[in-house]
């Protein structure tokens, strides 16, 4: 007997017992209890009659580089990630037009590998508006999430595997080379979006700071500090009388990560003045 069958049996028993009590017992309190039991039993039975979907945590696919013999293996791992950890199938379909986001049938043939990578890691960089098959092209309100950031947080290897799967299922040649797959590290760096981070910098920091400008130039400061120290400094070192840094504490985690990514990028590219 499956779990659903067991619960259905219990629900039916509760209904039967409640009905019997209503029929044969005159005590008001017991009748009310029986009435409540019938309502709850009926609710349970209705709930058991709809599709039973459990939300399982993403399968922790061990990305064993040694086990990947050819590109087919890589595409196989990508397929598991597509339907598992990547949660792509939550919104995208393959071959039907009933998803809430673009159908991905043949997407590997339509788009280049670079475009696919950008769509996964910087989904707002280019908005594909022509996915509505009828009527006027329009923005879809559901924005594509950043796949390389939390809560999905695919590693670079995993993203490449997904691209390999998309190309493979479109009948295209897989252009991801096995040499691109890196040995997995213990901790997957969760990268923010530097473009979004730049915007955050403009709105939150540019009042007092600049990058390479005359007022509050941060480049020398960034060059002297480690990443952890930069992060700590932003959160803990407001100037006397200034509450600006304190307001950063109300930023969603994602936006803060974006800001840090932008500053790290500045640090990596800017020359010390």
Are the beta carbons of 263 and 231 closer than 8 angstroms?
no
**Could you say whether residue 203 binds another protein (CB under 8 A)?**
no
Task: Give residues 117-176 in contact with another protein (rule: CB under 8 A).
Answer: 138-143, 145, 150-152
> Binding string to another protein for residues 70 to 109, with x set by CB under 8 A, is what?
-----------------x--xx----x-x-x---------
**Could you say whether residue 56 binds another protein (CB under 8 A)?**
yes
Question: Closest distance between another protein and the C-beta of residue 116, in Å?
Answer: 19
Q: Which two tokens stand for residue 58?
A: 């993403």
Nearest to 121 by CA among 91, 176, 89, 158: 158
CA 144 – CA 152 distance, rounded (Å): 12
Task: Specify the stretch interacting with another protein by CB under 8 A; choose among 35-43, 112-120, 194-202, 214-222.
Answer: 35-43
Any residues with CB less than 8 A from the CB of 72 and at least 6 apart, and which? 168
**Could you say whether residue 52 binds another protein (CB under 8 A)?**
yes
Q: How many CB atoms lie within 10 A of CB 254?
A: 17
Question: Closest distance between another protein and the C-beta of residue 174, in Å?
Answer: 28
**Could you say whether residue 242 binds another protein (CB under 8 A)?**
no
Q: Helix/strand/coil (H, E, C) string of 170-230?
A: CCCCCCCCHHHCCCCCCCCCCCCCHHHHHHHHHHHCCCCCECCCCCCECHHHHHHCCHHHH
12, 30, 65, 127: residue in contact with another protein (rule CB under 8 A) = 30
Question: Closest distance between another protein and the C-beta of residue 50, in Å?
Answer: 5
User: Residue count at the site for another protein (CB under 8 A)?
Assistant: 63
84, 251, 265, 270: residue in contact with another protein (rule CB under 8 A) = 251
Cis peptide before 33 (omega within 30 of 0): no
CA 153 – CA 149 distance, rounded (Å): 4
Question: Closest distance between another protein and the C-beta of residue 161, in Å?
Answer: 21
**Could you say whether residue 20 binds another protein (CB under 8 A)?**
no
If you compute the radius of gyration of the chain from its CA atoms, what whole number of angstroms results? 27
Task: Specify the stretch interacting with another protein by CB under 8 A; choose among 45-53, 109-117, 161-169, 198-206.
Answer: 45-53
CA 21 – CA 18 distance, rounded (Å): 5
CA 58 – CA 152 distance, rounded (Å): 9
Q: Which spans of this chain sit near another protein (rule: CB under 8 A)?
A: 3-4, 7, 10-11, 25, 27-33, 35-37, 39-41, 43-44, 46-58, 87, 90-91, 96, 98, 100, 138-143, 145, 150-152, 232, 235-236, 245-246, 248-254, 256
């Amino acid at each position: 007997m499956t779990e659903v069958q067991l619960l259905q049996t219990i629900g039916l028993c509760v209904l039967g017992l409640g009905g019997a009590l209503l029929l044969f017992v005159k005590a008001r309190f017991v009748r009310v209890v029986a009435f409540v039991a019938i309502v709850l039993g009926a609710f349970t039975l209705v709930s058991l009659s709809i599709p039973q979907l459990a939300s399982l945590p993403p399968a922790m696919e061990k990305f064993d580089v040694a086990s990947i013999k050819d590109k087919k293996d890589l595409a196989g791992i990508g397929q598991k990630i597509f339907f598992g950890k990547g949660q792509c199938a939550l919104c995208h379909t393959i071959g039907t037009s009933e998803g809430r986001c673009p159908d991905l049938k043949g997407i590997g043939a339509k788009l280049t590998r670079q475009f696919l990578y950008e769509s996964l890691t910087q989904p707002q960089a280019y908005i594909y508006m022509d996915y509505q098959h009828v009527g006027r092209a329009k923005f879809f309100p559901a924005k594509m999430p950043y796949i390389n950031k939390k809560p999905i947080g695919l590693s670079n290897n995993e993203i490449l595997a997904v691209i390999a799967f998309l190309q493979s299922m479109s009948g295209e040649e897989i252009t991801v080379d096995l040499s691109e797959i890196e040995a997995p590290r213990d901790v997957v760096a969760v990268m923010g979006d530097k473009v979004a981070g730049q915007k955050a910098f403009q709105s939150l920091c540019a009042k007092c700071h600049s990058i390479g400008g005359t007022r509050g130039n941060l480049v020398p400061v960034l060059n002297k500090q480690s990443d952890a120290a930069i992060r700590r400094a932003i959160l803990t070192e407001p100037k006397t009388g200034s509450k600006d840094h304190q307001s950063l504490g109300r930023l969603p985690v994602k936006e803060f990560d974006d800001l840090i990514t932008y500053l790290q990028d500045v640090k990596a590219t800017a020359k010390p003045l």
